[in-house]
Amino acid sequence: MISPMPCSHYIIRKQYFLRGVCMTVMRKFWSKHTIIAAISAAALTLSGCAASNALNEEEDAPAADTSDTVKVGVLHSLSGTMAISEVSLRDAELMAIEEINAEGGVLGKQIEPVVEDGASDWPTFAEKAKKLLQKDKVATVFGGWTSASRKAMLPVFEQNNGLLWYPVQYEGMESSPNIFYTGATTNQQIVPSVTWLLENKGKSFFLIGSDYVFPRTANKEIKAQLKAEGGTLVGEEYTPLGHTDYSTLISKIKEEKPEVIYNTLNGDSNVAFFKQLKDAGITADDITVLSVSIAEEEIRGIGTDILTGHYAAWNYFQTTDTPENEKFVAAYKEAYGDDRVTGDPIEAAYNAVYLWAAAVEKAESFDVDAVKEAAGGIEFKAPGGTVTIDGDNQHTYKTVRVGEIQADGQFKEVWNSGEPVKPDPYLETYPWAEGLN
């Protein structure tokens, strides 16, 4: 493809360089090839569109209703930074599916899980969600952990009219018609725990969190609540995900002397933070730390010795005393090993499968719209107490619990809300939250 260059002088002198390049590009682009390309492009566009229409019709044809299995998607990160947390959710969902299958399945059909890896990467979540809905034509999908992965999947489910069950506590301010939220929204975890802290542990708060949407949004809400309920804010700090050096932050904490640290750090940062807090001589007796992202699984990773005496707020603990939980923990350990622990998101993922199955039975159909219609008011005797789907916002009623971390890595429940709390993702029933949304 060598061709003679008519204007060679530009190469030597800088000032002609750009003009020269532009001229060359122009001259060479408007050649015969360009015209051929343009014409064939136009022709091919037309034929392509026509053909793909035919293909789409084929694809959109309803899946045969005669088979004796029904496919559901299970979409969590099995690789990457989130795998450590999300693999347990997949395990819990597969266990629930197996249990339901052993009881005869849903509407007489066995549930066939299609497992995909979201790879801790948000576009991958969108890609795999699309694959599950368009290629596998699953009846529903259980999946996600981070808010970013949910936000990435949301348009896919809305555009394809799919159904997603999202099992993790999150920052609220969302209610998609195609998503059921079986984890807590803020008024079922953060808001009551702040009230409990104010009543029992102290008025001055220091907020620390990883730098992403959940901590930032949660802290905005906490600040508004503190103002309304008589607390004071002495500090608010964010560190990048994966940050491990907390010495500066801890000296700030020492200076400000808060009574409570409200911790929304995520992942590995917790290990560094709690270790360095202990090394600095601050124990649970000096400052109470309440975390919202540390469950039994994370305690194992961080180490019980440095966490003992601190608190966490959830809707379920492995130690929650219900007959359903006894059965659930025993089954989970039998399936995946004695060393495994359950936890709040694991329980919420397990519940999601049962809630979906119940909604399908009530609707007598796997059709997404029919299932959504039937879901309102569905109840399930979950390991953490009865959960009910709120038909208006597709969240669930859940009991709020605060637990103290024990030396054996389990929680001792110190407070609970007594009855399931109605989900309020937009905090509409709290006057102090008015400016937030």
Partner 1 sequence: MDKKKLGYWLFFIALFLGPLYLTEFRLALMGKFLCFAIVALGICLIWGYTGILSLGHGVYFGIGAYCTAMYLKLESSNGQLPDFMEWSGVSALPAFWIPFSNPVFALAASLIVPALLAAMLGFLTFKNRIKGVYFSLISQAVVVVFVTLFVAKQDWTGGTNGLTNFTTFLGFSLASPLVQIALYMLTVIILGLSFTLAARLTNSRAGRVLSAVRDGENRVRFLGFNPTSYKVFVYSLSAALAGLAGTLFVLQVGLISPAMMGIIPSIEMVLWVAVGGRHSLIGAILGAVIVNSAKSFFSETYPDIWSIFLGLLFIIVVMFLPNGIVGAFESWNEKRNKAKQKGGTADAADSVVS
- Residues of this chain, 202-231, that bind partner 1 according to CB under 8 A: 211-213, 216-217, 220
Reported as half-sphere exposure (CB side, CA atoms, 13 A), residue 344 has a value of 28
In the chain, the amino acid numbered 208 is I
- Give whichever of 50 and 102 is closer to partner 1, judged by the CB atom: 50
> How far, in Å, CA of 156 to CA of 151, rounded?
10
* DSSP 3-state percent helix, strand, coil across the chain (nearest 5): 45, 20, 35
- Give whichever of 126 and 168 is closer to partner 1, judged by the CB atom: 126
Residue 66 binds to partner 1 (criterion: CB under 8 A): no
User: Among 19, 35, 155, 305, which residue interacts with partner 1 (rule: CB under 8 A)?
Assistant: 155
Residue 413 binds to partner 1 (criterion: CB under 8 A): no
> How far, in Å, CA of 216 to CA of 226, rounded?
15
- Give whichever of 64 and 102 is closer to partner 1, judged by the CB atom: 64
> How far, in Å, CA of 275 to CA of 414, rounded?
24
Residue 84 binds to partner 1 (criterion: CB under 8 A): no
Report, in Å, the least distance between residue 345 CB and partner 1: 19
Residue 377 binds to partner 1 (criterion: CB under 8 A): no
Residue 40 binds to partner 1 (criterion: CB under 8 A): yes
Map tokens 């409200």 to a residue.
262
Report, in Å, the least distance between residue 214 CB and partner 1: 9
Strands 204-210 and 232-239: parallel
Residue 147 binds to partner 1 (criterion: CB under 8 A): yes
DSSP 72-102: EEEEE--SSTTHHHHHHHHHHHHHHHHHHHH
Residue 18 binds to partner 1 (criterion: CB under 8 A): yes
Residue 56 binds to partner 1 (criterion: CB under 8 A): yes
Report, in Å, the least distance between residue 211 CB and partner 1: 5
Contact yes or no for 128/75 (Cβ under 8 A): yes
Buried b (16+ CB within 10 A) or exposed e, 64-101: eeeeeebbbbbbbbbeebbbebbbbbbbbbbbbbebbb
Q: Which residues bind partner 1 (CB under 8 A)?
A: 1-3, 5, 8, 11-12, 14, 17-18, 20-21, 24-25, 28-29, 33, 37, 40-41, 44-45, 47-49, 51-53, 55-56, 59, 78-79, 115-117, 119, 121-124, 126-128, 130-131, 134-135, 146-148, 151-152, 154-156, 158-159, 173, 211-213, 216-217, 220, 238, 240, 435-437
